[in-house]
Structure 1
C-alpha cells in the first residue's frame, strides 16, 4: 500500500524540513559508499545521525562504513542502535553478527542469529552467518547444518556450497567457489592484497630460497594468480610455468610477460594431463594455494614427481594447533605442522627450512601462517 503524500517514514524527524534533509543525506551517503568514497560518506553519516537520531538507516549506514574501515567496535555500536530501532530487520541481524565476529565474539553473534532465525526462518543470509559463528565456536556439525540450510534457500551461494563440501568431507573445497572468488577479485587483487592486507609471502619465500643457496629453475608456479610469486623470483629461476584455477587471474599473469607457459584449471588435473608441465623443475612454488585446496596429498604427489633431483617445493600454509586440516569460517583451510611433515616423509621430501609468516591481515589482524622449503632427496 502506498504511503499518502506527505507521510513521514518511521524514524524521520517530524519537522518536514529536517525530514527532507535526512532523506537527502541518506541518499548521498549511500551513493558515496557505493562509489567507495568512504571518508566522504562517513562525514555525511555523522551529520545524518545528528539530523535523524531515530532513523535506523542512519545508524546502519554509519555501521556499514565503520566495518569497511576496520572499526568493528564502532560498527557494532551503530548496528546495535539500528537494530533496536528496527528489531525485525534480517539485514541488521546479519550486519551486527558480522561486526561481532570481527570482534571475536562468536557466541554473541550466534545468540543474535538464533533470535533472528525465529523471525526470519527462511533468510539464507542469517543461516550463512550462523554457520560462520558456529564454526568459530568449534561447532562443526551445527555449522554444516546451517550452511546446508543456507544453500537450500539460496542455491547460488557458492561460499555456502563450499563450506558444505568442506565440512561434509574434510579437505574437499568447492572449486567453482574458489574460481569465482579469484575471478571477481582479479582487477584489484595486487593492490588490495599487497596494500591493505600487507601480503608479503612471495618476498619472504624468495628470501628463504636465497638464504639456503637455492637459486635455479626452471620453476612451476602453482596457483600463480596474477603472477606475484613469479615477479618476486630472480632471473635464475626462469623459465617459469604457471597454472591457476581462475581465468581472469591467469590473464593478469600473462600481462607480466614473465611466464613461458600458462594454463587454467584445477592444478592437480591440469598438471597430470599437460605434457608442457611435466618438468623436471628445480623449484615448484605454491603461495597461498594449499589453503584453498585442503587435502593436498594427491597434489603433492604429482608435484614431487615433477621435481628435478634436489629440487625444492616452496609453499605457504595457514596454521592451526590441532592435527590434520581445519576449515576456517573464512572458507580457507589451515594445515598443522604434523600433517605437513608426515606428507614430507611419505614422499621422501627433506625439510630444509620453515619459518612463521603472517599470511595477510584479516579484519586488521594478522593471519598466522608458516613457510616451508621441502627438497627432493
Structure 2
C-alpha cells in the first residue's frame, strides 16, 4: 500500500490516536484564529505542542498566535523550535526574523535571514525582511540592495518598491503605496489605530490649539483619513474641508457628516488646482500625514499659502535623530526638528510650539515624535 502523504505528516506522533488529535487541534486552532478568537486559539496551541512536540507546524502555530497577542518573546522561541525541526523552511526564517525585529534584535534577525537567503536565493520575502533588519541596524545602502532584490523577484510588492524608492531618492515614496495601504486599512483603521496602537495625536493637536487660543475659524484637514482629526476639533472650527489620497478613507470620512468639501487625490495638486480648497483657512492641520510623504517642501509651501493672516498650521511628525528626512523600516518617514524649522522660516511661518509626543506604538514600543504649531505673520 502506498504510504499516505500530507503537508504536516513529518513530526506527527507515531501513536495514530495522538496523530489524529494533533491534526484536529491544528485545524481547530487555525479556524479559531480566522474567527478572531485568539485566546481560544492560544489554548489550543499549547495543547497542540504538548500532544505533538516534534511537529514544526505546532510550534509555528504557537508562534503565530503569540505574535497576534504581542508576546514576541514567546513567538521567537516557538519559531526557533519550529525552524530547528524544519531547517529549510523559508517561511520560518521570515517568521523568526519578524519576531526578533519586534524584540528590537535586528542583528539576530539579519543573521537568520542571511541563512535563509543562502537556502532560498530567490525568495522575495526573505530579502524584504532583510531590508528591514538592515535599516534598523543603520545600514541604508545594504537595505537598498535587499529591497531592490525583493522588487526584482516580486514586482507587485508595493512595500518593497516604496522602500527602494525612498532609499534611492531621499524622501520620495513609491507612487500608489500609501493609497493602497490606507484603502486596505480603512475598515479597521479607527479601532486599530486608537486601540492597539494608542494613537492620540488628534486630541493632542486639539489641546495645543486651545492652549494657543485658536478655537474658532475655518479648517483644512490634509490627509483627513476617516475624520479622526476633524472629530477632535470643536464645532466652532467649522466649516472643515478634507483631502486624502485614499478613496476608501474619504468614504469613511463622509459618513461622519462633518466636512464641507471632501476630495480624493494628491494634496499639493488639489490645493494648486481645485477652487474648493483655495482658502484662506484659519487652520490647516496634518495629523500623521508628513510621515507618509517624506519630502514635504511642495505641500508645506502650498499649505502656508492657504493660511489667512495669523492662520495656524498644526501637524505631527516622527522625529529623526539625524538631519533632514529618514525612511524607517515601518515604511514611514522621520523628520528632524531642524528640517521643519527651516521649512517654517522659508515659508514665513513662526514656530509657536514644538511639543514632544508619543505618536503611536510600533512593535509594542512608543514612537517618539513631536507636534508643531506654526503661525503665518
Which TM bucket (shorter chain)? over 0.9
Instruction: Render the CA deviation track for 1:112-164: whole Å, top value 9, x for unaligned.
Output: 10110110000000000000000111110110010011111111110000001
CA distance in 2, matches of 1:174, 1:234: 36
Aligned CA distance change for structure 1 residues 16 and 46 (closer, same or farther; 3 Å): same
Contact 1:83 1:93 in 2 (8 A): yes
- 1:224 corresponding residue in structure 2: 224
- 1:186 corresponding residue in structure 2: 186
Contact 1:271 1:278 in 2 (8 A): yes
Alignment of 1:259-274 (within 5 A): 259-274=259-274
CA distance in 1, matches of 2:41, 2:189: 24
For normalisation by structure 1, the TM-score amounts to 0.98
CA distance in 2, matches of 1:131, 1:6: 36
Aligned CA distance change for structure 1 residues 285 and 52 (closer, same or farther; 3 Å): same
- 1:40 corresponding residue in structure 2: 40
- Deviation, 1:6, is 8.3
CA distance in 2, matches of 1:266, 1:91: 37
- Deviation, 1:3, is 6.5
CA distance in 2, matches of 1:269, 1:87: 51
- Deviation, 1:235, is 1.3
Alignment of 1:1-377 (within 5 A): 4-5=3-4, 9-377=9-377
CA distance in 1, matches of 2:137, 2:295: 23
Helix, strand or coil: the match of 2:29?
A: helix
CA distance in 1, matches of 2:65, 2:200: 27
CA distance in 2, matches of 1:229, 1:295: 22
- Deviation, 1:272, is 1.3
Contact 1:225 1:249 in 2 (8 A): yes
Unmatched runs of 5 consecutive residues or more in structure 2: none
Aligned CA distance change for structure 1 residues 173 and 5 (closer, same or farther; 3 Å): closer
Aligned CA distance change for structure 1 residues 263 and 6 (closer, same or farther; 3 Å): closer
CA distance in 1, matches of 2:32, 2:217: 48
Contact 1:123 1:153 in 2 (8 A): yes
CA distance in 2, matches of 1:39, 1:227: 32
- Deviation, 1:217, is 2.1
CA distance in 2, matches of 1:35, 1:179: 27
Aligned residue pairs total 376
CA distance in 1, matches of 2:139, 2:48: 40
CA distance in 2, matches of 1:138, 1:84: 29
For normalisation by structure 2, the TM-score amounts to 0.98
CA distance in 1, matches of 2:288, 2:314: 11
CA distance in 1, matches of 2:301, 2:2: 66
CA distance in 1, matches of 2:346, 2:102: 39
Helix, strand or coil: the match of 2:156?
A: coil
Moved more, 121-130 or 168-177: 168-177
CA distance in 1, matches of 2:319, 2:96: 28
Over the residues paired in the alignment, what is the CA RMSD in angstroms? 1.2
- Deviation, 1:33, is 1.3
Helix, strand or coil: the match of 1:21?
A: helix
CA distance in 1, matches of 2:97, 2:317: 28
